[in-house]
Every structure is written in structure tokens, then in C-alpha cells.
Structure 1
């Protein structure tokens, strides 16, 4: 097994192809569905450069749309969460209902051929699973089919009972696939994460690829906040378990050489007394992640310089890398 051709990580044309054949065709995690629990609540996000939002309508229905005004293409809602009764374009003040209908085009002038009913927001697909919110622009399969064997993997975990208490966003200068390659293997832990390495039984670290996801496990030693199971799901989201909680993240490419990771941290105990321990868990998690970013950035530079050619993958530790890269190649027709 060989690593992917480094050109696939640094060629801007590949990024554009990935946007159309991977990110527009797959279900994308937006975090907890609690973000849109009440009428008028919305979450606005970027998917590899495509702007979208999901909103809970006044009729109680959950809908999602491209975050693009039908008039001149302006972005309607800033990224993040919020609440609104209608969606007003900040550019020319066109107003859309929460079901996507255009309901006002002020100062437009007379045009006998103009009919507001012809210009609704462009809808996209939305779904929920176990308390998590997903959207898809043009999915090639339904959500449950995409996550595959994850349904069984998390069958005994009460993930929908956890409350999302914190969100974090980190940006780093490397291709999204370089970070994903890193996430789906534990081979780098001894060299990159010395404190983490000391907190697990690394000799028993196992990585296995399954339908729709990669599982990594290792017995934790005393004091580790992780429970010893880390999951990555095609194409770009993760879930890691804590005692009494979990985190999820979405690995989103901003450009060929820039990636954002949007984290949500969820816990069973929402009391003030539990907060200090939870903040320590969050800080520890992000500290480990930042160690990954450093090596990913330097790796990307080597790929971009042309000084690296594809090397071999470990049959013991890099099954997850091979699975991910095969899925990428299939999606790109490479």
C-alpha cells in the first residue's frame, strides 16, 4: 500500500473536484440538532466553500437552503447560529420566509414578467440522527447508508442524551486530507503526542476500517480524559468519547492549503459543579489536536515543494489511512 500522490493534496484543480464529487455529494455534520430546536433558530455554515444554512420554520419543520440570495448572489446569513423570523438579504434587502419563499423585493420597480413565486431560496437536504444535525447538497445516498456500520457501533452509547456545552473553531494551513490521514492512524502518537502516548497502552492500539467509518482503540491508563475510542466517519467528521460525554468535529477545507475544524463538546452533566472538570477535558483535547496541526502544516509544505514522493503505508497502523484514501480516489475517479 502506498500513500496518495502528493499532487492530490496541493493541486487547486483537485480541491475544486473534491468540492463537487465529495463535499456536495455527502452528508455534512453541522453539530447538535439542539442548535435549531426552537422556531426561527438557524445554523449557517461553509461546506468546502459552499454556503448553506438550516433553519427551524415557524411551522416546526426543519429545512435547509443554499445561503445565497436569488437576486445577485449575496450571502444571506453570517456563519454561526442565530434566530430570525424572516431571512433578509443585507445587500438589496430582499426578504425570504423561513420556508424559502421570496416575500418582498423592495424598490425593485415594475416588471410584468417578474413573479416572486419564481425566486425561492434553493433548498438542500437536511436530516437528523441521534441528536446530530446533517445537511447534504446533492447526496448520492441517504444518511444512514453513508454512516453504515456506525449505527451498530454507537448503538449502546447514549449520545443523544448529551448536551452540547461548547463550540470551538481552529484553522490551520494544510490540506484537509493531510489532517485526515493523521487522524485515522495512531502510528504518529509516540512521536507527536508524548503525554498522550504515556496515558495509553500503545502496544494494544488498534485501527480497523469498517463500512462508513474507521475505529481506533487503545486501553487508557489512569487519568486520561478519553475513554480509549476514537471514530472517524466518511468523508470528514469525527467523534471521540469521554467519561460522561463526547466531542464531534467537522474537518472542512477552506482552500487547497487551509482547513478549519469545527468542534462541539457534549456532556451528560450540565451542573455548575461539573464545569471545571469539563473545561479541563476540553483544554486537554484541544492541546492534543494542536500538536497534530504543527506536523500537518510542515507535511503540507513538503508536499507542495515537490520534495516528497509517495511512501509505503503500515499494514498494522495505517489501515484507516488506506481506507480513507481509497474512498477519495474512488470519488475523484483517480
Structure 2
């Protein structure tokens, strides 16, 4: 049973910001609490899994494990991307062990059952006996790959593992409207525009840190030298997303003054503005006039997170030198946060810490994320208590 199951701690988290406490230590350290939270917060919502650039070409596939569940990204010959459970319907064997291009069908290495790229079971050799590739009591149409509900937005692949969340466009209608002006074609920068950070922290602490600009002067002094704390504003959409925006975005310039091309048709705000939001639960997004990024947080364990960072541009053929410099700069910024989120994780082992307090002026975006997590867990508990 979760450690805080019989306490009113979630009510304290959901209180107004001036009196609220943060999520208690158990949400970062206790396996039972975290398992319950994973069900409420990651399995029943639209969680970020990967990006389309992970399987860029037709017939590409990539196995991924998420919350212990084996999944398979597959892009079919027409370019449609699907997510399946990475198991054969015969005996549950893992189908694909490494990223690769599928030549022909997806073949199970155990008994050679074969599946098309759209998930249909197409071949069952010797299933009716030697030389008999069918059986009258086995209907192949009922034994295709199990598809996981998915949606792609800004190249991020979102999945709803429970299968019963409202449609993505409905759940996230507000952010789709907010960012409609930057809803442009995105071109992934390629191998030099993606990197992964392995961080010894719970994934929620990465979200909490990303949400707010309060830490800029001390953790990011270089960034704060031109995009100062006072140049930022809060983005707060209760129950959906939160983050920060800046009125001062400075474009990267090359040695000869070159810059990345802008996205077409942007309103005037984006000349100098930028926005950075945490789309609940585990996707961090950034939008600027000339490039954007997506960070998918992979919850490896209660105290290990992989941050998968991907950079995108307005055109497909930006220069190697500029892309490399941009990736280096962003990596430096994100690495600066590592000691903070790892330090907060270590701090969650202190029994005297009660979740902390929030600055009413500075911590609104982070408080909203805590409130959302607590609300999802409380709703799950109420549902189970009513059964």
C-alpha cells in the first residue's frame, strides 16, 4: 500500500499555492506509491514515448521499453507510423531486439510467425502440422499485433497505454490553439541534433525544474546574462501544461553573422519571444522563431530518468556547423540543471522534508504540475474505492 494512502497529503498538495505543500517524499522514493502514480499519471494519459525521427524512413522500426512494457515503433511502406506491443501473439516472444529496417515482414524468431508492417498476421508456418500453414480453428484475422493507441504532434509520439483517454486533440486543445502560429513543418536536424542525458532523478523533478525560471540567475548565469529572470513570464494552464516564456530570445549567429532561417508567417511576438512548456505528463517543448526542440522524459526507475533531446528546424538543409553549435549550446544549458534535479532527488530521502513550499510569485507553474499529479492519483484512488 502506498505510504501516504490514508493521509490527506494530496489535499495539501492541491491547496492554493500560498498554503500548498509539494508532493511528499513517497512520490519520489516509495515503489508502491510510484507504481500507483505511474498508473494514474503515465498509463492513463497521453504520455510521450519517442519521436518520429526515431523511425524516419518507411519500413524502419525501433523497439522501446516504457514502464516495463515492450513496445515497437513501426513506419509502414506508406510512411504511416504505428506503435505495437513488441510481442508475438503465439507465445509472447519479443519480436524485434534492435532498431532496423524491416525487409518483408516482421518475423518472430521463435516459430517464424510473420506480421505485416500494419500489424496483420500473414504467415503461420506449420501451425496445422508439418507442411500445413493454417488450421481451421485458428483465425489469423484475430491474431494481429496488439496496437497501442498513439498520436503524433510536433514529431513527438504520444501513447495512451490504457486505451481509454479522451482523444489527444480534445485533451490538448488549449495548447494546440496557443501554438497554432508555430504549427509549421519541422525538420529534425539529424544525428548531430539529438542527444540523451542519463540523470539520477525521478522524472517529475525534471518537469518541475523545467517549468520555472526562478532558478535562472544561479543555475544558468550565461543564459540569464541576456534572457534575464525579469524578461520571463509564467505560462499556466491548470490541468494541462505549464512553463515559462521569454520576451528576449537571441538568435544564434555563425562566424559570418549567418542565422537559421525563420519559420514562415510568424506573428510579430516571435521576433524576440520564445516559449517553453511542460506538456503533462513527460514532454518538454520549446518554440523559437528559427528552431524548436522536444525533450521526452523516459522514467527508467524511481530515481533514474533519460532525457531524450531533439532539435528541429524550418528547413531540412541547415549547415552542419550551425546545427552542431546549437546542439552544443542547448546541451550545456540542460547539463547545468543536472546537479539540481539530482540534488532534489537525494533530498527526498530526508524524512523531515514534507514536500516543501511554493513561492506564490515564482512557483506557479511548478505548483500546477504538482496539483495535476495529485489530482490524477486522487481520482484513481476514488475510482478504486468505489469499486
TM-score tier after normalising by the smaller chain length: 0.7 to 0.9
Matches within 5 A, 1:44-55: 44-55=63-74
The answer to whether the 8 A contact 1:185-1:318 is kept is: yes
* 1:258 equivalenced with 2:304 (yes/no): yes
* 1:120 equivalenced with 2:166 (yes/no): no
Matching residue of 1:29: 48
Structure 2: gaps (5+ residues)? 1-19, 130-134, 254-271, 382-387
The answer to whether the 8 A contact 1:199-1:224 is kept is: no
Change (3 A) 1:221 1:118: closer
Query: d(CA) in 2 for partners of 1:181 and 1:164?
Result: 27
2:294 to 248, 266, 272: 248
TM-superposed CA distance for 1:161, in Å, is 4.1
The answer to whether the 8 A contact 2:49-2:66 is kept is: no
Which has the greater radius of gyration?
A: 2
How many positions carry a matched residue from both structures?
333
The answer to whether the 8 A contact 2:234-2:365 is kept is: yes
Matching residue of 1:147: 172
Query: d(CA) in 1 for partners of 2:155 and 2:185?
Result: 5
Give TM-score, length-normalised by structure 2.
0.76
Query: d(CA) in 1 for partners of 2:32 and 2:125?
Result: 40
What secondary structure does 1:200 align onto?
A: coil
Query: d(CA) in 2 for partners of 1:289 and 1:245?
Result: 16
TM-superposed CA distance for 1:4, in Å, is 1.1
Give the RMSD, CA atoms, in angstroms.
2.8
Query: d(CA) in 1 for partners of 2:61 and 2:42?
Result: 21
What secondary structure does 1:216 align onto?
A: strand
Change (3 A) 1:140 1:5: same
Matching residue of 2:210: 183
Query: d(CA) in 1 for partners of 2:115 and 2:81?
Result: 16
* 1:313 equivalenced with 2:358 (yes/no): yes
Query: d(CA) in 1 for partners of 2:203 and 2:78?
Result: 38
Matching residue of 2:9: none
The answer to whether the 8 A contact 2:234-2:244 is kept is: yes
The answer to whether the 8 A contact 1:201-1:219 is kept is: no
Change (3 A) 1:71 1:221: closer
Matching residue of 2:4: none
TM-superposed CA distance for 1:59, in Å, is 6.1
Matching residue of 1:290: 335
What secondary structure does 1:248 align onto?
A: strand
Matching residue of 1:276: 321
Structure 1: gaps (5+ residues)? none
Query: d(CA) in 1 for partners of 2:299 and 2:53?
Result: 25
Query: d(CA) in 1 for partners of 2:65 and 2:376?
Result: 20
Change (3 A) 1:291 1:34: closer
Q: Which one has the bigger strand percentage?
A: 1
1:100 to 108, 111, 119: 119
* 1:135 equivalenced with 2:159 (yes/no): yes
Matching residue of 1:15: 34
The answer to whether the 8 A contact 2:252-2:326 is kept is: no
What secondary structure does 1:149 align onto?
A: helix
